[in-house]
Amino acid sequence: MLIPISYLFYLVGFVLVVTAGMTLADRTNPRRFTSGAFWGLYAVVFLVGDQMPPEWVGALAIVMALIAGFGGVGAGRGAQPSVAELAASAKRLGNKLFVPALAIPVIAMIGTLSAPALKIGGLAVIDPKNATLVSLGLGCVVGLLLACWLTRETPAQGMRESRRLTEALGWALVLPQMLGMLGLVFSDAGVGKAVAHVATSYINMDVRFVAVVVYVVGMALFTIIMGNGFAAFPVMTGGVGVPVLVGVFHANPAVMAAVGMLSGYCGTLMTPMAANFNIVPAALLELPERAVIRAQIPTALPLLAANVFLLYFLMNA
């Protein structure tokens, strides 16, 4: 293949290396050395993590957790455009500002749907096993180029803005990947089997509707606990989804997985554990604590209830 998934990892690693370098050089950051080390270690995971022994990657993750846990990740106070300059730029560009942002999902969708047919000399252009992620990466690159063209800025300014947003999010930026790893650890530790044992021992899983409710609500609850739907998915799917919904009631695995993940996202809307979604935005916008979660609960609960019926009626489609 011409564009494997590893290229996306290298791109992310490169951005993190630049971020680490900028952080180390920023004297306005009171924790520039520990912050630079944090982002540098994160870059190593993307650049050479697949070539390292798993124990070494785990050690890097522990070091990163210690740096973050002891308050070692901080942000600098770089020069920012004035309100007048931002207003003038927004007035000049108008709705054209949405073009780079919208280009990302459009290219991701086109790449995903056309990946099987995109071949040159018999070689696949995009990694067919990771078409969505590779297409998303391509969309981000195109979005950056469009943004530079519209704003008449350079890619270097894009890197500076990337670093600013990365520092604003802080350690919460790594939560999705860390919690996804936690889900795999839970799965390997047999948590899914334990969930299946508890569910089948104390709940009548012979009733299809009950099994659907357990899976859908369980996905939301585990996501609330873990803070990430990717962490909850292997636990609930291995414990209830595959053995009960697919094995007993012959559910379509694709439908089961899609509705299951959507149910997990309902849990994401309701938990402070999803700090990068619910806590960091509130802090950046100076909103009251838990304001984002309180605003999202009225959407999350009806959507979770709708998922129960969606899976119940569509699982055999």
User: Quick one: average pLDDT of 218-238?
Assistant: 85
Does a structural domain hold residue 166? no
Statement to judge: residues 55 and 101 lie in one domain: no
pLDDT tens-digit readout, 237-293: 888 899 999 999 999 999 999 999 999 999 999 988 877 778 777 766 777 768 889
Q: What b-and-e string marks burial along 146-156, b requiring 16 or more CB atoms within 10 Å of the CB?
A: bbbeebeeeee
Tell me: pLDDT of 86 over 80. Answer: no
Does a structural domain hold residue 160? no
Distance from C-alpha of 21 to C-alpha of 33, rounded to nearest angstrom: 10
Q: What b-and-e string marks burial along 30-49, b requiring 16 or more CB atoms within 10 Å of the CB?
A: ebbebbbbbbbbbbbbbbeb
- Residue 234, pLDDT score: 84
Does a structural domain hold residue 158? no
Least confident of 64-68, 107-111, 153-157, 194-198: 194-198
Distance from C-alpha of 45 to C-alpha of 10, rounded to nearest angstrom: 10
**Of 69, 91, 124, the domain-final residue:** 69
Does a structural domain hold residue 199? yes
Statement to judge: residues 45 and 141 lie in one domain: no
- Residue 47, pLDDT score: 93
- Domain enclosing residue 30, as ranges: 5-69
Statement to judge: residues 186 and 291 lie in one domain: yes
Assign 15 to helix, strand or coil: helix
Token digits of residue 85: 């300059």
- Residue 19, pLDDT score: 93
Q: What b-and-e string marks burial along 230-240, b requiring 16 or more CB atoms within 10 Å of the CB?
A: bbbbbbbbbbb
Distance from C-alpha of 39 to C-alpha of 213, rounded to nearest angstrom: 41
Does a structural domain hold residue 168? no
pLDDT tens-digit readout, 104-138: 999 999 988 888 888 887 777 888 888 888 999 99
Tell me: pLDDT of 175 over 80. Answer: no
Distance from C-alpha of 265 to C-alpha of 222, rounded to nearest angstrom: 11
Does a structural domain hold residue 257? yes
Q: What's the structural domain count of the chain?
A: 3
- Residue 79, pLDDT score: 66
Token digits of residue 3: 């564009």
User: Quick one: average pLDDT of 71-89?
Assistant: 78
Q: Would you say the pTM of this structure is higher than 0.85?
A: no
**Of 69, 97, 121, the domain-final residue:** 69
Statement to judge: residues 185 and 294 lie in one domain: yes
- Per-chain mean pLDDT for the chain: 87
Tell me: pLDDT of 198 over 80. Answer: no
Does a structural domain hold residue 223? yes
Statement to judge: residues 57 and 139 lie in one domain: no
- Residue 78, pLDDT score: 67
Statement to judge: residues 202 and 114 lie in one domain: no
pLDDT tens-digit readout, 35-55: 999 999 999 999 998 899 989
Statement to judge: residues 257 and 148 lie in one domain: no
What does the H/E/C string look like for 27-89? CCCCCHHHHHHHHHHHHHHHHHHHHCCHHHHHHHHHHHHHHHHCCCCCCCCCCCCCHHHHHHH
The share of the chain scoring above pLDDT 90, in percent, equals 40
Token digits of residue 300: 């999350």
Distance from C-alpha of 91 to C-alpha of 273, rounded to nearest angstrom: 38
